[in-house]
Amino acid sequence: MTTTSYLVICASHRTCSGVVRDRLSTDEAEVAGMLERLRAVGVGQALWLSTCDRVEVQAVHERPNEAALAIAEVMADRAGLSTSDLAPQLYTRTGIDAVRHLFAVACSLDSQIVGEPHILGQLKAAHRSASGAGLTGPELEAVLQAAYAAAKRVRSETPIAEGATSLAAAAIQVARDLHGDIRRCGALLVGMGDMGALVLEGLREAGLPRLTVAAPVDRRAEAAARRLDGHFAPWADLEAAMTGADILVTAAGLGRYILTAPMMEAVLKRRRRRPVFVVDAAIPADVDPAVAGMDGAFVYDLADLERVALQGRVGREAATQAAWMIVDEAVAAFARDRAERAAVPAVAALRSHFEAERRRLLAGHADLDAASATRLLVNRLLHAPSEALRALAADGSGEGLAERAAAERLMFRLFGLDRLTAAALEENERDKDERREPGREVR
């Protein structure tokens, strides 16, 4: 019987540089092409998930290790890298570890900002794309639906989502304190991190009228600007775009400072020192620490916003631990369910075999009474397993003895042979030994 295994190949903020993630990233129009490339290398069930924090493939395959190599080659080609160069930046998991990763992603436990609300919607969008491309099947559907159920539990049973929401609310509060009516402000989003988008969405809902988006990959910035109903600024024009921004949110996380002290000094001079509220929502930081000391620049990172929101770290960690407990419970339940389903064909085959033997016996021995018929049926059903056990017993090798012991343990478990039955068998063996002792009459 063919079995399948879950696997995930991931380039995330935990393993991969922002530059490489940008090269791997896809917009909505490009996802179909990536799914076709996965199909072409023999992966029949898969989704392609591309977000600010990650680009990953979640898949099901009969030979997960081979599939992982093929998927890594597709991803490397997308990034314009060799597989050997990309491989160290990829996170690869198979089996139950892949399932746990998928659940953690759906529950926003693997995001840069734990609890951020975007990832579940992004996962569902990737699911719809895969389904539309014909790359979903019963195994992938089952794990995704279980992940969605776990995410719903985490949202309803823990306060984990409140942390990310409170950070965005804190940013709005500081913006109002600094600028007064934010309906007269303009904002610039630099980079595509989820927390940056969350802050800007909150500002939009609070009345922010003007928004511009810039990112190292212009096509991603254009797509985000459309989604956020804003304007697009080419990366080459970043400094000019900053001049018109009263609120500047950075969320690139490239591992180097995007907003340097000389750049900010030039921007503040052109603004005639009109204040700028800077939110560094990136991990690692986008803003040079020296910027915070400049006249007119008010820099807040995520820890600063957390303090504004009075969101204690202990409370955040407790919520995260509770969410992980739910995930682990859900993963265990999913594994049990799949194991039980996998056993159904074997049970059906055993039942069919028993029924066939019963019919053959009745057809050939219609004149037997119930006692004789059942005794004959038991003998027939036990013939093949008895011969198999005898063959194992005859094999005196260590491997043969180990296989026999394993088979006997499985037999006891499958047929519920309890301790009393085992004791009865041992007693029967002792009786046989006693009868064989010298001087005893063998009847």
| Residue 295 labelled as part of a binding site | no
- Are 163 and 170 spatial neighbours (Cβ–Cβ below 8 Å)? no
| Residue 195 labelled as part of a binding site | yes
| Residue 27 labelled as part of a binding site | no
Q: What is the distance between the alpha carbons of residues 307 and 441, in angstroms, rounded to a whole number?
A: 91
| Residue 18 labelled as part of a binding site | no
Neighbours of 96 (CB within 10 A): 15
- Sign of the four-CA dihedral 113, 114, 116, 121: positive
Which tokens hold the place of 441?
């009459």
- Are 199 and 238 spatial neighbours (Cβ–Cβ below 8 Å)? no
CA nearest to 191, candidates 244, 268, 257, 240: 257
- Are 119 and 49 spatial neighbours (Cβ–Cβ below 8 Å)? no
Residue with tokens 């290398």: 41
Residue type, 56: E
Q: What is the distance between the alpha carbons of residues 287 and 215, in angstroms, rounded to a whole number?
A: 15
| Residue 111 labelled as part of a binding site | yes
52 among known catalytic residues: yes
Q: What is the distance between the alpha carbons of residues 223 and 437, in angstroms, rounded to a whole number?
A: 89
Which tokens hold the place of 216?
């190292």
What secondary structure letter does DSSP report for 274? -
- Are 27 and 220 spatial neighbours (Cβ–Cβ below 8 Å)? yes
* Residue 301, beta-bridge partner list: 280
**Which runs of consecutive H residues, i.e. helices, occur in 216-312?**
218-227, 238-243, 261-270, 302-308
Q: What is the distance between the alpha carbons of residues 5 and 65, in angstroms, rounded to a whole number?
A: 10
| Residue 51 labelled as part of a binding site | yes
Residue of 16, 52, 107, 185 marked catalytic: 52
| Residue 192 labelled as part of a binding site | yes
Q: What is the distance between the alpha carbons of residues 24 and 26, in angstroms, rounded to a whole number?
A: 7
| Residue 325 labelled as part of a binding site | no
| Residue 231 labelled as part of a binding site | no
| Residue 52 labelled as part of a binding site | yes
Q: What is the DSSP string of 328-372?
A: HHHHHHHHHHHHHHHHHHHHHHHHHHHHHHHHHHHHH-TT--HHH
Do strands 45-50 and 186-190 pair parallel, antiparallel, or not at all (unpaired)? unpaired
| Residue 101 labelled as part of a binding site | no
The annotated binding site for NADP(+) is made up of 191-196
The annotated binding site for substrate is made up of 51-54, 111, 116-118, 122
Active site residues: 52
